[in-house]
Structure 1
Amino acid sequence: MRLFLVLLCCLPLSSKVSAQTAEIMKDPFAHTYSIVARDAKTGEMAVGVQSHWFSVGSIVSWGKAGVGVVATQSFVNPAYGPNGLKLMEQGLAPAEALTILLALDEGKAYRQVAFLNANGETAVHTGEKCVEAAGDFAAENFSVQANMMLNDKVVPAMKKAFLEHENLPLAERVLKVLQAAEAAGGDIRGKQSAALIVVGAEEVEHPWEEKKIDLRVDDHAEPLVELERLLKVARAYEFMNRGDLAMEAANVEKALEEYGGAMELFPENLEMKYWTAVALANSGRMDEAKPLFEAIFKADPNWKEMTRRLPASGLLNISKKELEELTK
C-alpha cells in the first residue's frame, strides 16, 4: 500500500487531467500490432512493433536489461514504458505493475499495453475503447497485441508464428511474428514504420550496454522489409565487432573467420572487405590481401589514403616498402 501511495504522488502516469475523449485523442496515435517476448534459452527479451504511424519505435517499445520490456500503444501513454520498467525493477510482477499503473490512468479504456519481465511473466491490457479489430494473447515468455487491424486474424497469426519459430534467435523470431501479422492483414490503414529492440538477461552497469539490438524504421513504404535488411546488417556488424576483438588479441585466424562471416552476410560493404584485407596483411598473407585492397581502392580511392594512415596507429603492420607498393 505504501508503494502505491508513493506512486500515486510521484509518478506522472496520467497524461491528462480529464478523461474526456477529446483530451485522450491528443495523445500519440500509435494504433499498431506488437509483441513482447523472451528467449527461454538465453533470457534475452525483445519488443517488435509495426504501424501506419511515423516513428512508432520512439514511443511504443521500451526495455531494460535484466528487468523486462514494455509495449504501450493505441492512444499511447508513453509513461507506461519507464514507469512499468521501474516497478518491475522494484520486484513487482507484470500483472501487479500493470494494475497499479492502469488505476492511475484516466484514459485506460483507450490504451493497449503489454509487460514482460525477466522471469518470462506477462501481463496485457486491451481497453474497451481500442479500435477494432483489437485483441491480445499472453502466455509465458510472450504476449502479442494489436488494435485497428484489418481483421481478427492478426493476433492468432502472431501467436502461431512465435510458437513455430522457437529455433530462431529472438530478434529473427520476433521479425517472423511481425511478418505473420502483416500477412494476415495487418493495420487497416497500411504500413509506415517499425522497430525492434532486444535487451539482455542480466542487468548492466552502463546505459549504453542496455540494448543488444536497437533498430528503427521511422518512415518507409515497406517497413518490415527494411527492418529485415537492417537486422541482417546488424548481424554482419556483430561478426565485425568480434573480428576486431580478435585482432586486438592478436588472434588473426579468429579475426579472419569473423570478418568472413560479416562479408558473407553483407558482401557489398567495402569496410568489411577492407578489414579482412588488413587482417590478411597483418598475418603476412599479402598475396591474398592485395587483390582485396585493389578492388576496394578502385571502388573508393579514399580507402587508399586510409591505408597510408594505419601504420602510425599500429593497425597495419607491414613494411614501408609493402605499404608504398600497395598504395602507389
Structure 2
Amino acid sequence: MKNLLFALCLLLGTRAHAQFFKQDNGLAHTFSIVARDEKTGEMAVGVQSHWFSVGTSVSWAEAGVGAVATQSFTNKPFGIRGLALLRAGKTAQEALDILLSDDPGKEVRQVGIVDAKGNVANFTGKNCIDFAGDLQGKGYAVQANMMLNNEVPAAMAKAYEANLNLPLAERVLATLKAAQKVGGDIRGKQSAVILVVKGKATGKPWDENHLVDLRVDDHAAPLVELERLLTLHRAYEHMNNGDLATEKNDMPLAMQEYEAAMKMFPKNLEMQYWTAITLANNGNVAKAAKMLKGVYAKEPLWRELTKRLPKSGVLTVKAEEMGALLK
C-alpha cells in the first residue's frame, strides 16, 4: 500500500496526492460497466478490481434513478451526488458535467453514469493510469484504468452487445469476464460486485433496492466466485417463488420451483430441508420423510430444528406424522 501511494505521489505530484487521495475515498483502479436493460428498465453497475472490497466505493445505484461507477482516484460523493442529480431530473451527461465542474481532481477521476431513460455518460481524466479508456453503447457505458493493455473497453462492449438475450445481471457478468479474459487489471484481481435495481421506484425500497446485490470482497478469482453467488441467488429466487406458490395453494408450481432450485444446487441442505417441510405441510409426509432422512444423515441438527417447528406454526402435522418426519 505504501509503495503504491509513493508511486502515485511521484506520478501526480505531492500536492495532487494530498488533494485527491483521501482515506474516505481511496483508490479503485479497475474496470466497470453501468447499464440499463431496455426491456425491463432495470439498471446495473458491475465492477472488478485488484483492490479490497471494491463494491464499498465504486458502485452506486437507486431504483427509478440510475447507476454510477466512480473509480481511479475514487470520489465517493460522486455516487451520492450523482444519484441526487439524476433524481432531480438531470440526464446522465448533465449530472456528470456538474460533478466534474467543481472537482479539482477531475483529471485523476474515472466515472460512468446511466440514468433511468437509458442515457449514458462517462469520463476518463487525462492523468488516469494507462491503460485508461472508456466506451459507450446503447444503454451502457464501460470504463477501465490501470489495465494490462488497451483491449479491455472494446472487449467489454462487444461482450455486452453479444449477450442482450441474458438477464441484466448475467449480461454484466459476461462483460466483466470478457475484460478479464483480454488481460484486465495489470495488477491482477481481488474483488468484484454486481448491483441491479428496478427501473421504476415503487415507494418500497425493500423490494426495489436491490434486485441483485452481490459482492466478493477478497478472492483469488472474484468473478468465478461472483458467478457462483449469482447462480445461488437465482436458485433462492426459485425457492422464494416456491414459497409464494405454496401460499396460494399451487403445489404443482411450488414443487416445480423447488425442484429447479435443488437442480442448481443439489447438495444444498437448506433447500432440501424446506422443500421437505412444505411437502409435509401439504400432506405428502412420506416423500417429506424420505428427503429429511437424507438431510439428517448429513447434518443431525436439522432433526432438532424439525422438533421446534410446530411450536411456531411453521410445521403443521399430526403427532403420528411428526414421528415419521423425525424417524
Q: Same fold (TM over 0.5)?
A: yes
CA distance in 1, matches of 2:86, 2:324: 61
1:155 maps to 153
Report 1:271-290 matches (<5 A): 271-290=270-289
Q: Which amino acid aligns with 2:133?
A: G
2:248 maps to 249
Q: Which amino acid aligns with 1:163?
A: E
1:98 maps to 96
Structure 1 residue 137 corresponds to structure 2 residue 129: no
2:222 maps to 223
Q: Deviations over 1:103-157 (max 9, x none)?
A: 1100000000011011100010100000010000012210000000000001100
Match of 2:171 among 170, 173, 176: 173
Is contact 2:19–2:105 with CA below 8 Å preserved after alignment? no
Q: Deviations over 1:33-90 (max 9, x none)?
A: 0000111111111000000000000000000001100000000000000100000011
Q: 1:318 deviation in Å?
A: 2.0
Match of 2:39 among 25, 38, 41: 41
Match of 1:69 among 51, 67, 70: 67
Match of 1:86 among 84, 87, 99: 84
Is contact 1:19–1:107 with CA below 8 Å preserved after alignment? no
The secondary structure found in structure 1 opposite 2:31 is: strand
CA distance in 1, matches of 2:40, 2:21: 40
The secondary structure found in structure 2 opposite 1:211 is: coil
CA distance in 1, matches of 2:15, 2:192: 29
The secondary structure found in structure 2 opposite 1:119 is: coil
CA distance in 1, matches of 2:61, 2:163: 22
Q: Give TM-score, length-normalised by structure 1.
A: 0.92
1:4 maps to none
Is contact 1:191–1:222 with CA below 8 Å preserved after alignment? yes
1:116 maps to 114
1:301 maps to 300
1:213 maps to 212
Q: Give TM-score, length-normalised by structure 2.
A: 0.92
Is contact 1:19–1:106 with CA below 8 Å preserved after alignment? no
CA distance in 2, matches of 1:305, 1:216: 33
Is contact 1:32–1:149 with CA below 8 Å preserved after alignment? yes
Count of aligned pairs: 311
The gaps in structure 2 that reach 5 residues or longer are 1-13
Is contact 1:252–1:279 with CA below 8 Å preserved after alignment? no
Structure 1, 158-167 or 261-270: larger mean CA deviation = 261-270
The secondary structure found in structure 1 opposite 2:211 is: strand
Is contact 2:289–2:324 with CA below 8 Å preserved after alignment? no
Q: Which amino acid aligns with 1:318?
A: V
Is contact 2:36–2:140 with CA below 8 Å preserved after alignment? yes
RMSD between aligned alpha carbons? Answer: 1.4
CA distance in 2, matches of 1:117, 1:245: 32
The secondary structure found in structure 2 opposite 1:79 is: helix
Identity of matched residues, % = 54
